[in-house]
Amino acid sequence: MCLGVPGKVLTTYHEHDLLMGKVDFGGVVKQVCLAHTPEVQPGQYVVVHVGFSLQVIDEAEAQAVFQFLENMQELDELDRPDDVADAGGNGSVPSP
Amino acid sequence: MKYQDEYRDPAAARKLQQAIRQATTRPWTIMEVCGGQTHTIVKYGIDELLPPEIELVHGPGCPVCVTPLEVIDRALEIATRPDVIFCSFGDMLRVPGSQGDLFSVKAAGGDVRIVYSPLDCLKIAADHPDRTVVFFAVGFETTAPANAMAVWQAQRRGIVNFAVLVSHSLVPPAIAAIMASPQNRVRGFLAAGHVCAVMGYEAYEPLAQQFQVPIVVTGFEPLDLLEGILRCVRMLEAGRCGVDNQYARVVRRQGNTAAIDLVKQVFEVTDRKWRGIGTIAASGLRLSEAFRHYDAEVRFPVSRHDAREPDTCISGLILQGVKKPWQCPAFGTNCTPEHPLGATMVSSEGACAAYYHYGRHREVANMPAR
Amino acid sequence: MNSPQDEQPVIALVHCPVPLSNQQHVLLGHGSGGKMSAELIRGMFLPELGNDILNALEDQATFELAHLGLETTGQGAAAAFPPGARLAFTTDAYVVKPLFFPGGDIGKLAVHGTVNDLAVGGARPLYLSAAFILEEGLPLELLRRIVGSMREACEAAGVQLVAGDTKVVDRGKGDQVFITTSGIGLVPPGRNLSIARAQPGDRILVSGTIGDHGMTIMSLREGLEFETSLQSDTAPLHDLAEQMLTACPNIRCMRDPTRGGVASALNELAEAARVGIKIDEAQLPVRDEVRAACELLGLDPLYVANEGKLIAVVPAADAERLLAVVRSHPLGRDARLLGEVVDDHPGMVVMRSLVGGQRVVSMLAGEQLPRIC
């Protein structure tokens, strides 16, 4: 349930006394109600669901999984091509 | 996109996959509660990356799927009224009631519109003062703050030509119902990250103790799911129960207090029926007394009837993780996304629809059941 | 344009746009077949789209096969219709809201779409017809812009619009303007593209980023609006297709993945040739904005419409060379080889996901709907 998409808050403003913001989702900008994350500052990332921010993303915590992976020293030796092939790049094409 | 692309990294996925294989010594059945997670699992083929001992079963976390047939029927009835503009999230338009869906109401002349946000309905209401805008407020805890805000704003701004048809469900009572079922096979849970982003995860701690299971709050990207599964397997293998939080970049233990406060003002907890499962005590939300006049069912007289699900549909068993979609004789034959028989085929996020959409019905012949 | 009912001399007027009386909007009378229809034709359509065949205002367009534009063979220009050459004929209806969007408009779509349907069959597009269903009240200025846009598109594609018709429906009974175009092209001798020809081992090429058109339109859809610099990819593919076929006559088949997107085109291919298709998610060319907009609305770019892209199935030995040819063309810079034809799972398209799992890419059941979950 509950499609939530991370986006960067560009600006904030008020509409009908509600805290709103323009949020950038990888080049797509949409107006989002930020009333549930009143502390959010432009430049921070929020997770957005049906046009509302659910929560501000914690940058430090976001790195946790990658630190966790780095710490898996014993697994490094397994980091070689095996039955699980590498998928390569992600096919992204920047816009002109 | 930041916070998405890096969580789809193939090399990191491979490491997590190896770690899961290393951690697993015995068969474990794990339920991902949320349909969004089911979607990711099937879309990225994550179940194929797991060792054969791990079985994922797909839970009831799809608000579209579990909306009872009679509520859909009421939506169709209200949407047919010429004095109503009926607004809904896109997901609900194809969900069949006893007769037809919202698309068929639109085709017959009803004013049915897709909105992205519940707040959009207030704009439409302001633009059409002569008609009532009815919003189909479905969802789990994640969507409740947004829907609550629309109602709260309508009250504050004195918008009277707005109403909501509420079908809100709560996750913890559903987990309890699944665990209490004598047929239950689930040994660990991945809790829905975005539900917990709003509500926090305190409510899951007593559940984990009561049923002696690990519950891992998990996100929605491939790495999130793999890490959530790894954490769950490690707890299972170690014989530990309790709540762990994989999705800490978004989920805090106490949740989003601003959102929770608003939900508590606008809604109150009620018993509710889950399509395919039945009534679960204190598992839903309805408008609280102070906002009851925004209830579309109060505003418009609607017929009350108990709609009957087709006998052949086993969606209740699928929602509880007892059966897999392909174990249903109707799957892919009498029951398809175009002509769904029951809950789990109606939304793209339902387990049956996800399996169907990603072609699992065609793989069944070639693939041993896992 | 055809059968304007009255006998006025027209040729003299063709080069001098007649003011459309003082009307600002399309009236029912413009579809009456009478004076107002003729006025619309002479005042708007002929000045923009006119050519010798159209200007004749016959009930039908007639042309000699010798004019069909094949390069002359050993027999010289007298060769009318070389043995083995075939006619290609196609038709398509165009409905789009809004009529004008970043990167194009309904007029461009109506020309490009039909040109592309011919081009991906290996045909050189030659002549088009166009039928307009106009809603009463449509501003004539809008119509003029659309027709002007069609002229530009026809010129760019090297085709002539040689027949047409206009009808007007009551206000509220249409949606501004619908256009149907048909097209004729010539397939040179020896060219035989067919989706049934795909064989295991063949590679699949896509000529550029996918989903640009569909997500551009989605960004303007009422209630879902978002800001983006995305543009529709609408473009005529005749030149790209011709260069591909010249460089690599062994191309098995081509498709333009419009409605239903790349997923539907590949499924049709797998179904028709009774082969399996395997593609790699990592090789899908998707613009960041398209990817982001799809994430936001819960859509899959594989199912989103394209209006200026083609998919080609090519023998493996020619694949890299063809890719280089496509990439050297302005419309093919982002081309990729995204998969291959396989023996396994005939009739099915399977995609290897970014993280290494697999999934079946099936046909879309209905319209993709924005979802919350």
Looking at residues B327-350, what average pLDDT do you find?
82
**In the prediction, which pLDDT does B354 show?**
77
**pLDDT tens per residue across span A64-96:** 888 888 887 554 555 544 444 444 444 445 444
pLDDT band at C71 (very low <50, low <70, confident <90, very high): low
CA distances from B99 to B78, B95, B104, B349 (A): 14, 10, 9, 22
> How far, in Å, CA of C368 to CA of A8, rounded?
26
Each as own residue / partner, the long-range contacts of residues B122-128 (CB below 8 Å, 24 or more positions apart, any chain) are B122/B150, B122/B153, B122/B154, B122/B157, B122/B159, B122/B162, B124/B85, B124/B87, B125/B154, B125/B159, B125/B161, B125/B162, B126/B159, B128/B85, B128/B161
pLDDT at B228 over 50: yes
User: For chain A, what is the domain count?
Assistant: 1
- State residue B357 phi and psi, 5-degree precision: -60, -40
> How far, in Å, CA of C195 to CA of C212, rounded?
24
> How far, in Å, CA of C124 to CA of C157, rounded?
10
> What single DSSP character describes residue C227?
B
> How far, in Å, CA of C140 to CA of C130, rounded?
17
pLDDT band at A6 (very low <50, low <70, confident <90, very high): very high
Range of the structural domain that residue A54 is part of: 5-62
Beta carbons of B146 and A57 less than 8 Å apart: no
pLDDT at B161 over 50: yes
CA C198 to chain centre: 23
pLDDT at C283 over 50: yes
> How far, in Å, CA of B350 to CA of B314, rounded?
13
Looking at residues B14-27, what average pLDDT do you find?
96
> How far, in Å, CA of B88 to CA of A50, rounded?
11
**In the prediction, which pLDDT does A80 show?**
47
| Burial state string for C183-194 with b = 16 or more CB within 10 A and e = fewer than 16 | bbbbbbeebebe
Intervals of CATH 3.90.650.10 along chain C = 195-360
Q: Which residues contact B21 (CB under 8 A, 6 or more apart)?
A: B51
Beta carbons of C295 and A25 less than 8 Å apart: yes
**In the prediction, which pLDDT does B60 show?**
85
**In the prediction, which pLDDT does B143 show?**
96
- Helix %, strand %, coil % of chain A (to 5): 15, 40, 45
**pLDDT tens per residue across span B236-284:** 999 999 999 999 999 999 999 999 999 999 999 999 999 888 899 999 9
Looking at residues B93-118, what average pLDDT do you find?
92
Alpha helix locations (H) across C27-174? 35-40, 46-49, 52-55, 106-119, 140-157
Which residue of chain B has the CA closest to A67? Answer: B12
Q: Quote the mean pLDDT of chain B.
A: 91
Query: Looking at CA atoms only, how far is residue C94 from chain B in angstroms?
Result: 21
**In the prediction, which pLDDT does B348 show?**
67
CA distances from C242 to C113, C125, C245, C256 (A): 16, 11, 5, 14
**In the prediction, which pLDDT does B341 show?**
83
> How far, in Å, CA of A24 to CA of A21, rounded?
10
Q: Name which of B171, B354, A92 is nearest C334 in CA terms.
A: A92
Looking at residues C307-334, what average pLDDT do you find?
98
Helices and strands of chain B, counted as H and E runs? 18, 11
**Do the Cβ atoms of B92 and B134 come closer than 8 Å?**
no
**Pick from C350, C361, C373: which is nearest to B36 by CB?**
C373
**In the prediction, which pLDDT does C81 show?**
65
| Domains delineated in chain B | 1-313 (3.40.50.11740), 315-363 (no CATH)
Dig out the tokens for C29 from the structure: 């009378």
Dig out the tokens for C265 from the structure: 């085109």
**pLDDT tens per residue across span A9-38:** 999 999 999 999 999 999 999 999 999 999
**In the prediction, which pLDDT does A10 show?**
98
Dig out the tokens for B303 from the structure: 């017929």
**Do the Cβ atoms of B319 and B351 come closer than 8 Å?**
yes
Dig out the tokens for C331 from the structure: 């419309």
**In the prediction, which pLDDT does B275 show?**
85
Beta carbons of C229 and A50 less than 8 Å apart: no
> How far, in Å, CA of A60 to CA of A81, rounded?
31
Question: Which neighbouring-strand residues pair with B191?
Answer: B217
Choose the CATH number for C195-360 among 2.40.390.10, 3.30.70.890, 3.90.650.10, 3.40.50.720: 3.90.650.10
pLDDT band at C20 (very low <50, low <70, confident <90, very high): low
CA distances from C333 to C115, C311, C325, C326, C336 (A): 20, 14, 10, 7, 9
In the sheet with B162-169, reading across from the earlier edge strand, the strands are: B111-114, B84-88, B132-139, B162-169, B278-287, B267-274
**In the prediction, which pLDDT does B318 show?**
84
Looking at residues C137-157, what average pLDDT do you find?
96
Higher pLDDT, C352 or B309: C352
Higher pLDDT, A85 or C114: C114
pLDDT band at C76 (very low <50, low <70, confident <90, very high): very low
Which residue of chain C has the CA closest to A47? Answer: C296
The answer to the question of residue A10 being in a domain is yes
The answer to the question of residue A53 being in a domain is yes
The answer to the question of residue A31 being in a domain is yes
Q: Count other Cβ atoms within 10 Å, centred on residue C329.
A: 17
The answer to the question of residue A91 being in a domain is no
**pLDDT tens per residue across span C287-319:** 999 999 999 998 999 999 999 999 999 999 999
Q: Does A50 touch chain B (CB under 8 A)?
A: yes
pLDDT at B154 over 70: yes
**Pick from B116, B143, B347: which is nearest to C370 by CB?**
B116
CATH at residue A12: 2.30.30.140
**In the prediction, which pLDDT does C286 show?**
97
The answer to the question of residue A46 being in a domain is yes
Look-up of token digits 């998610």: C281
Q: Domain C11-59+86-187 is of which CATH architecture?
A: 2-Layer Sandwich (3.30)
Intervals of CATH 3.30.1330.10 along chain C = 11-59+86-187
**Pick from B44, B337, B348: which is nearest to C353 by CB?**
B44
pLDDT at C77 over 80: no
A51 interaction partners in chain C (CB closer than 8 Å): none
Is residue B60 reached through a cis peptide bond, with omega within 30 degrees of 0 on the bond before it? Answer: no
**pLDDT tens per residue across span C179-228:** 999 999 999 999 999 999 999 999 999 999 999 999 999 999 878 889 99
What chains are in contact with B, requiring at least 3 Cβ pairs below 8 Å?
A: A, C
CA angle B114, B303, B350 (to 5 degrees): 45
Looking at residues B142-165, what average pLDDT do you find?
97
Beta carbons of B15 and A78 less than 8 Å apart: yes
Q: Three-state SS for B210?
A: helix
Look-up of token digits 């001798």: C189
The answer to the question of residue A16 being in a domain is yes
Look-up of token digits 């009872």: B68
> How far, in Å, CA of C134 to CA of C148, rounded?
16
> How far, in Å, CA of B228 to CA of A56, rounded?
21
C351 interaction partners in chain A (CB closer than 8 Å): none
**In the prediction, which pLDDT does C13 show?**
40
**In the prediction, which pLDDT does B204 show?**
96
Dig out the tokens for C368 from the structure: 């993709």
The answer to the question of residue A94 being in a domain is no
The answer to the question of residue A32 being in a domain is yes
Look-up of token digits 């006893």: B98
**In the prediction, which pLDDT does B197 show?**
97
**In the prediction, which pLDDT does C317 show?**
97
Q: Three-state SS for C64?
A: coil
C291 interaction partners in chain B (CB closer than 8 Å): 1
pLDDT at C267 over 50: yes
Query: Looking at CA atoms only, how far is residue B135 from chain A in angstroms?
Result: 13
